[in-house]
Structure 1
Amino acid sequence: MTSLSARSRRAGEPEPNPLELLTLTELRRRTSMKWRTYPPDVLPLWVAEMDVPVPGAVARALADAVAVGDTGYPAGTAYAEALNGFARERWAWDGVVAERTAIVPDVMLGIVEVLKLLTGPGDAVIVNSPVYPPFYAFIEHMDRRVVEAPLDPAGRIDPGTLDAAAERATRGGRRAAFLLCNPHNPTGVAHTRDELAAVARLSEARGVRVVADEIHAPLVLPGAEFVPYLSVPGGERGISLMSASKAWNLAGLKAALAVAGPGAAADLARMPEEVSHGPSHLGVIAHAAALRDGGAWLDALLTGLDANRSLLAELLDAHLPGIRHIAPEATYLAWLDCRELGLGDDPAGHFLRHGRVALNDGRDFGTGGAGHVRLNLATSPEVLREAVRRMASTV
């Protein structure tokens, strides 16, 4: 692996694979959660941070802002305009209308604020388990009820299960929302247009409002496509939360957008003005730059993630054939079924104790998560090989 400090890219050269530019020594200098939660002998393949340098377009935009002291409060529609341009180019979708957007601190806090607009205390929020763990924590903290609609064995939305959950959620005439994860974390499923249209029909029939977490939207791998929920028939009353944070590794630069469909514009307009005080101005600058000027970098990343997706499948087949695994269509996360290894409900704990590899505990993702782990693919091939070698040595 070539150290970032030892290489430079000339103008006109193709973007290198961002996953191959940093050494472990360089990565261990980081002070973020991924690299400081566990001791230095642990390989961290857990939380959703990528082992990449800051994209050049983002670094330049931030340097320019700091150089002129542009470090105040966020204002304007630059973020929405950048997302609109990206959506038009990548998804052939023109649904990001600045007047139907609101800037929020990040996707999860934006979800909370949107759910406050659409539901009240004690109302239900439907989730497709296994799903991103903060869905449970944030919903319960805001005094809403979680109603699970588990995914089918292939990790996809089951319409019958979702309909039954919607019936329970709205029983007694109560308001309810469906918190859709699109693409889905942790399974890496990219929901199809037909699947999302079925969600819209079912939700409208049951009177359930759809709030879509689409933070992984730019991270769809070859062989699949991202379909914005608001673009499907019946999705007009939905609200989507989007951000550049996952695709360009900007979680520490806080900013996201709530995007309303035409039928939800009035709901989003009720968002309290003070919510817009939470995002970072530098975060807005960074995210807009990524969406506007970071396309080549993203393409290089997707190529690297696709290669890592194939490499992980080969490594598991060769060294851990007892792990069942459906290759992700999107995200940089792999959902591994370890139940045949006989490690109990917490294989993540086993791999950490005996292999010094940190993975996410599947139980945190709700029903269907026991016996599973989530593995972060956004690292170098060398680290991925070493992690699987360590895991295999423990069984």
Structure 2
Amino acid sequence: MLQQAFSRYINNFKGFSREIWILTLITFINRAGTMVLPFLSKYLKEDLHFSHSQVGTILVCFGIGSMLGSWLGGKLSDKLGFYKIMIFSLFTSGIAFVLLQYITSFTGLCIGMFSIMVVADMFRPAMFVSLGAYAKPENRTRALTLVRLAINLGFAAGPAMGGLIIISSGYKGLFWVDGATCILAISIFWLLVKEKEKTSEHKAVSVENDNKSVFTDTPFWIFLFICMTTGILFFQLFTTLPLYHKVQFNLNEFQSGLLLMMNGLIIFFTEMAIVSYVERKQIDKVRIVIFGLIFMIISMFLLLINVWAGILIIMMLFMTFGEMFAFPFSNSFAMSRAPKGHEGRYMAIFTMSYSMAHILSAKVGLEISGRWGYQANWLFMGTLGLIALGLSFWLRKLLAEENN
């Protein structure tokens, strides 16, 4: 029985091309080395002694840079090809992360975080387009999920190791590791994966679709607002929640890292099975995203219980399952809406919704927490999720009308 379950689990990982596995490997290396992000708010608050409002402003610059980078990455991927954009983005941002540790002024960090994220987040839409190019159509959602597993396995290892690095040698070591892993990851990609040329058929369809604009796709824009909301709720894990851990329950960086590690490990062992099941049963993607949103809303309301540290584990379980339901199928739905030749543009705007989520999650969350306390923030976030839930049902109605 156990052997049968194991075989079924392994079968979920079959059928991928060599390029998809290499993309997965470099994603893991890159994400395992991404140790600055989970501790950025703590670094700015506790090491550089900025106020809640200043931390929020720096993270807004981070998010605005991310939005501009996502837009540029998508547009340039359609024009120059995803391959060149991926190499430029990861190599340059690797060097920039190493240099960032030497900037400690408020204005300098605002400019530095903005500039780094413009370059770093050009990578995301380019990577999504590369998955579309290297994966078979029937494997696309599973390929997205495989890369997400690498991201989450990297996040499982990264924060725990990051916490240990901070305890042993301070925050400076994180910047060196982050920069080095960016350069290592893209070097492996450049050596092992060759650029894929667009076929003449793809170019012809691309020209034919030039008159179709993403800005007239109403269901897609409603969907983007729902994605942005799931992002706002999820990014609380990296903005307000690490500070809340310390203030409310006196957890150290390593303990906060362990909670994120639990999130990554659960996703690694269960998400691919969930995605495979949903694809086999052909369950509506938007319906699954709605389930994910509901789980995230519950996780926010659970934080209103602030007298027992165990609630952080329960909250993380709900957020983890919410993430597993919401994110892979959001990626897949966004890609499925894009006409051929416009994948970069669609995926750019899709990733920009998460960049906007990062801006709002940081600034709004930290402002509310600083002015009225963390409880007010959890209440606000849960209520925002309920608004997005209402829009989700409207989206399903529009899509049903579109298909009739």
TM range (shorter): under 0.3
Task: Specify which structure has the higher proportion of helix.
Answer: 2
Task: Specify which structure has the higher proportion of strand.
Answer: 1
Q: Which has the higher contact order (CA 8 A, sep 6+)?
A: 2
